[in-house]
Structure 1
């Protein structure tokens, strides 16, 4: 699908897949200078700054993310619009709150530590929160008629009881000149005003979507199910994992013809990496929550 770049939340620059000693040292020094507090997710919209806190130390694990407002790591992510997955809150030595860094595995297979509030810098925005089971029960999407919206909910502030799921919101269902509110949780206190879509910039989402070519990734534990190291399969669809983790797995067909479902964010695990990414729609950049 697509996403609006400036509408999403924010969750670092190494040219290889390991953290350089200098970066890690500076990161740790800055971390230990930081004040104690809770893990926060900042949701920024049209001049409005808000915070969402969670008592869970693993809040955000499994979230699908894109580069955020303070990104300076060139194309480590694959380029603007390419997706990754938060696999761990914190990292080596980052175990005490406030934990202001997160590990991300990008769909291209690169893994690194990124700033999530460290020195007031935010490297990531959240593309999808559905992997943690967030859903808005009995809230129907007016675009696709889904009876329950999973992940972020978008509600028109100018029409009575008009709601969209993220895919329909990014596909410009409903009037793009209307003001919308973003619901990051079913809880009423977690509501954020975003700019009008007609005045906002869209970004093409890329990565592991249906049609993408993939091979075994960092968390692969399925032996020779893929046909062996280096085998390339094709993504058929994104799938839910059980009844409480949505869009957190991918169905893949391998050259042998065998099919199976693999983790793409479920409990922070990523079994696959892209060898050829495909478009997944769009998103409004500044409408998405900033992770941190």
Structure 2
């Protein structure tokens, strides 16, 4: 922020008074002292700014070093190996969307789920071994381990919703974004995204909840984009039965 004219005038008055007093102390004419001091002010200002610049460079290099360490650590994270165990609690990450879960054997998150016996729904997955769960009691969403450090914070208790029984569109749009996770979808009544889905009639899968009223869909052509499910009072998608393999 620039100095105001009033602040500039105040500084000028203080500067003149300081030089005048100094000239009296050294027994020289004020004009001569001004002529000697003015170059010094430029030198002093330049040296100060140079030291400030060096300090900024040091901090920048420190930030770069820390960033490189973080990037290096992240690059060493490997996707957990699939564990063959009885039951469905160790399903591959890609099969967890839409599953109903409870706290599992490695749970360490106190009552973040709402307490023992509470249920939640998997609304997102990450390839590094984490899942995002929305809890029924609070509607809060949190991320939990699914294979990271060989730990499983949640366990699958049942599949949420029978995809073979699809309600009509007027009932679908009353459902929250969490309901549509894992569902197969096609273009809906408010679609405005041209052939982003690969063309009329193409089926995609909802893979995540984004901002309020928006979901993320992966289409068969590999495209992943976000669409409105209540956002802007619009519904770009319509849920359809899951296609047979």
Higher relative contact order (CA 8 A, sep 6+): 1
TM-score normalised by length of structure 1: 0.31
User: Greater share of helix residues, 1 or 2?
Assistant: 2
TM-score normalised by length of structure 2: 0.36
Q: Which is higher, the Rg of structure 1 or of structure 2?
A: 2
